[in-house]
Structure 1
Amino acid sequence: MATQDRCCSVVPYFKIMSGKRAEFKSLCEKFVEKTSTEPKCLYYGFSFDGDQAHCREGYKDAEAVLTHLKSVDVLLKESLTIADLIRLEVHGPEEELAKLRKPLAEMKPQFFVLEYGFRRE
């Protein structure tokens, strides 16, 4: 049975530059504050392992991903001056991923097509 789930997960991993962890965490607080007002964001947060950070984020659909990226554009650019984006995954059903492939191409994500599963609202 194919999934009816339309949500998209964005899975970025960052390597924080030496001595910049506190500055990066300060930006994370700003990301969370700004994103908390996005109505189609399902979840959002940062986790850490040493000098690596991961942003755990999910959105109702591709449109919500694009809205989020536009909203945090300035913060993302600032964060990339003190951290490198070392991996980016995008997960979701093909119908939604198709809407993201061209707009996200410059970030070189790996796209994972969701084929089976369910979602509880």
Structure 2
Amino acid sequence: MSQLVSEPALTTLGAVLGGLWAFFKASDWYQRARDNRFAEALNALEAGVQQTYDVYVRAVKEASADGKLSSEERRRARELARDAAIAFGRTRGVDVIGSIGHDYIDLWITKLVKQRKAA
């Protein structure tokens, strides 16, 4: 028993487990699964942006004299889109924040809004 918990045995076990973990992380299956989760999260984010436009942005633009959103209204629209995307993702079993990343959600929302305006 003492040989199983000896330093060389634990070092070897750690190296083997580390190698297996590295192989798993680098495998095509893992990469495809991660890409699929990311694509599903982007779909949820697109749905959140669309819903926010339909419910909030359109009404604010119609009520505005110049037909544009103020910086505070744009910030609020981003928050609503993020919240709607997270809620939509939950219904589909997608972790939007975990898949896209907390720091990148606003960037993706901005990108989706620009694509929507260009279309």
Same structural fold, with TM-score higher than 0.5 when normalized by the shorter chain:
no
RCO comparison, higher one (Cα < 8 Å, 6+): 1
Looking at CA atoms only, which structure, 1 or 2, has the larger radius of gyration?
2
More strand by share: 1
Q: TM-score, normalised by structure 1?
A: 0.31
Q: TM-score, normalised by structure 2?
A: 0.32
More helix by share: 2
